[in-house]
Structure 1
Amino acid sequence: MSYAVLRGLGTHLPPRRVTNAELATLFDTSDEWITTRTGIKERRWVRPGQSTGDLATEAGRRALKSAGLDDGAEIGLLIVATTTPDHPCPGTAPDVAARLGLANAAAYDIAAVCSGFVYALEAVANAIEAGRVERGLVIGAETYSTILSPNDRTTSVIFGDGAGAVVLGRGAPDEPGRLLGFDLGSDGTGRDLITIPAGGSRQRSSGVAASDDDHYFTMQGKKVFAQAVHRMSESSLALLGRVGWTTDQVGHLVGHQANLRILKAVAEQLGLEPHRSVTNLDKVGNTSAASIPLALADAATAGELRTGERLLLTAFGGGLTWGSAALTWPDITPA
């Protein structure tokens, strides 16, 4: 059998820091209000003209470096998880693949919103385990600042831009970094809880002109909060049962960095002490599909993750979608 193993990790954040104090000059809000409700102190936003593909390419390049690969020629599959592609058509992944030198690699996007990284991770792991490719690259990349309404305080204080990437390769069953299992799910009846109303075929074929606000991201925060806690907890417990782990055996929980209160609630549901839940959203905000690899890189750089320890990843996003992954942490240095 073939086994998928995490071999490299790279991240990239745009240089512009947007603090709560800066947002307080644009909206009726304050640093205290934002911090209390979200746990976020600052986030990164792209400069004019900078795209999701730009962030994804740099994160991918750094992941290849972390994996000890000189170029992308050995990568057989690239998946970019994003809600903010460079264009509605074509996908962002083929362009990123070309820029990284992934000659003739299969490349496509996954649009599972904040669950996208876990969905993409599962797809690449499956391709490796089925023997279709030797190595694959997963990138979660977002430029949410480009889809946030300048009139919406609620979403503008939450979301940030960034990209995180991992290289997966074929390895041994007992090798640190092995992906041991996944749990994925969806519920399309909640599609309107997180959405951009305009721009797609449903709105375009309706014959009704969209308002300016319809082109921006919207979220029903209270309902999303309850769904996120329930789905991430339920998915995590289902996966733990599948791989035969108890919560006591989990070294760290790495949840999608949506909101500090959500992360705390999920940890409580799983019976995990707060210090075992990785958090970095205070520095980067909610970066959607990029949040889990960014959190992994921060925790690894800070020395919080030990080689061989058991990690539980979990996410929830629009669609509605959710997913969890179980792996052991490899001996790698994020780039």
Structure 2
Amino acid sequence: MNKNFVLRGFGRYAPERILTNADLEKIVDTSDEWITTRTGIKQRHIVAEDQAASDLAYEAAKHALSQAGMDASELTHIVCGTFTPDSVIPSCSCRIQEKLGITGQMCVDIQAACSGFLYALQTARGYLMLEPDSKILVVTAEVVSRRVNWEDRTTCVLFGDASGATIMTANDKDEDLPELVDVMLGADGSLGDLLAVDGGGSAHSYKKGDVIGDEYFVRMQGRDIFKHAVRNMVGVSQKLLAKHGIDKKEIDVLIPHQANWRIIDAVGRKFDIAEEKVFCNIDRYGNTSAASVPLALSEAVESGFIKKGDLVLMPAFGGGFTWGAGLIRF
């Protein structure tokens, strides 16, 4: 059974509107200095009134398909990672399919918050194991700005909207393309309350005429999240490297989930990875949840930050509490 899977193209998209720290100073009691020193974020992208998650995903998907030299009609599956879909039904993946102008493909959404890209990659690997001829669009898209309480300065400064994508297939022809070496995932539901969005779920539903309260928006316990995020991102990465007999010194590029510069820096230090080998774009996008890793991956490839032969480690964590790590050999 073929276990050698490649990534044929990468894509990304962020909305045109930019919200800077200076803009936020006019909205909540905060400052550019406070945000920058604590998070590393200088700006974030925010959707237009008429944009939804599938619109962002569509643009990233087109980008990835173009890089792969493929037409959307060649796709067999669409796997979308998001916790901010356009609607409960239809799924975001079905909306993306419609926008791509195709029908018949299997479509499924994955909800693992900020770990969504890694969960989606692993899901795509499973489909390829069963159906080796598959050509799978793995796309993540988040419109977190519509689940942020813009009166809560501890959370509204952190998040932005974006999408990232890749095309995964088997490597039957021994093509010289980036290879997905492996993915390892984990979760701990007992930590779910550290980062949650309750409102609108079946346990926190609304009746007609109800007023939406704070429960509708992202709430988080930052200090506890920091501790668990670093521990689990490092732990799963160590297990993944050990599984393949890879020493941490062999890691050429680290692309962690872009949640907070302090977390990114702490993970890099745990692996003794020099700062110049850590790709970070959090200053320009903020935390884009499931879109974070593929957005950074796409930028790192196009900018030349990632070079031929590089081994790239991608650890992430998210609400759930979920975490994971992926390895790609370029």
TM-score with structure 2 length normalisation?
0.95
- What is the percent sequence identity of the aligned residues? 39
Q: Contact 1:4 / 1:171 at 8 angstroms: preserved in 2?
A: yes
Aligned to 1:179: 180
Preserved CA contact (<8 Å) 2:200 2:206: no
Instruction: Report the AA paired with residue 170 of structure 1.
Output: A
Local SS of the residue matching 2:74 = coil
Whole-Å Cα distance in 2 between the matches of residues 210 and 150 of structure 1?
A: 16
Q: What does 1:274-313 correspond to in 2, within 5 Å?
A: 274-313=275-314
Deviations 1:157-192 (A, max 9, x none): 000000010011111568441111111000000111
Judging changes above 3 Å, is the alpha-carbon distance between structure 1 residues 103 and 90 closer, same or farther for their aligned structure 2 residues? closer
Aligned to 2:252: 251
Query: Take 1:285 and 1:43, find their aligned partners in 2: how far apart are those partners?
Result: 5
- Aligned partner of 2:318 in structure 1 is 317
In structure 2, C-alpha distance between the alignment counterparts of 1:111 and 1:196, rounded to whole Å: 12
Would you say 1:105 and 2:105 are equivalent positions? yes
Residue in 2 aligned with 1:124?
A: 124
Q: Is the 8 A contact 2:132 2:170 kept in 1?
A: no
Q: Match of 1:265, SS?
A: helix
Cα distance in 2 for partners of 1:78, 1:112 equals: 16
Root mean square deviation, CA, Å = 1.6
Structure 1 counterpart of 2:57: 56
CA distance in 2, matches of 1:233, 1:140: 23
Q: Does 1:77 align with 2:82?
A: no
- Note if contact 1:74-1:102 (Cα within 8 Å) is conserved in structure 2: no
* C-alpha distance in structure 2 between counterparts of 1:317 and 1:164, whole Å: 17
2:226 counterpart of 1:192: no
What CA deviation, in whole Å up to 9, does each residue of 1:73-131 have, x standing for no partner?
11111111001010122211012112213431101110100000000011112222333
Q: Give yes or no for the alignment of 1:87 onto 2:87.
A: yes
Aligned to 2:13: 12
Provide the C-alpha distance between the structure 2 equivalents of 1:282 and 1:79, rounded to a whole number of angstroms.
Answer: 28
Structure 1 ranges of 4+ moved more than 3 A: 172-176
Q: Residue 255 of structure 2 contacts residue 296 of structure 2 at CA under 8 Å; is this kept in 1?
A: yes
Q: Distance in 2 between matches of 1:299 and 1:211?
A: 39
Whole-angstrom distance in 2 between the partners of 1:315 and 1:254: 9
What's the CA shift string for 1:26-73, capped at 9, x where partnerless?
A: 11111110000000000000011210011011111111111001x211
CA contact (8 A) 1:45 1:160 kept: yes
Report the equivalent of 1:333: none
Q: Between Structure 1 and Structure 2, how many residues are aligned? A: 326
Q: Determine if contact 1:183/1:325 at 8 Å carries over to the other structure.
A: yes
Verify the 8 A CA contact 1:140 1:290 in the aligned structure 2: yes
Residue by residue over 1:133-176, the C-alpha shift from the partner in whole angstroms, topping out at 9 and shown as x without a partner, is 42101111001111101211111100000001001111156844
Preserved contact between residue 8 and residue 177 of structure 2 (Cα < 8 Å): no
**Residues 275/164 of structure 1: CA separation in 2 closer, same or farther (3 Å cut):** same
Structure 2 SS opposite 1:203: coil
Matches within 5 A, 1:19-58: 19-58=20-59
> Is contact 1:40-1:285 (8 Å) kept?
yes
SS in structure 1 opposite 2:72? coil
Q: Secondary structure at the residue paired with 2:240?
A: helix
Structure 1 residue matching 2:226: 3-state secondary structure? helix
Residue number in structure 2 paired with 1:239: 240
Q: Residue type matched to 1:231 in 2?
A: N
Distance in 1 of aligned mates of 2:168 and 2:102: 14
Distance 1:73 1:174 in 2: 22
Listed as ranges, the matches of 1:208-219 within 5 Å are 212-219=213-220
| TM-score (ref. length: structure 1) | 0.94
Q: How far off is 1:205 after superposition? A: 9.1
Q: Which blocks of at least 5 consecutive residues in structure 1 are unaligned?
A: 330-335
Structure 2: stretches of 5+ with no match in the other structure: none
Which residue identity does 1:245 align to in structure 2? Answer: I
TM-superposed CA distance for 1:244, in Å, is 1.8
What residue identity is the alignment partner of 1:142?
A: E
- CA deviation map 1:191-211 (0-9, x unaligned): 1111112211112399xx775
Aligned to 2:134: 134
Please say if residues 256 and 314 of structure 1, whose CA atoms lie closer than 8 Å, have aligned partners that are also in contact: yes
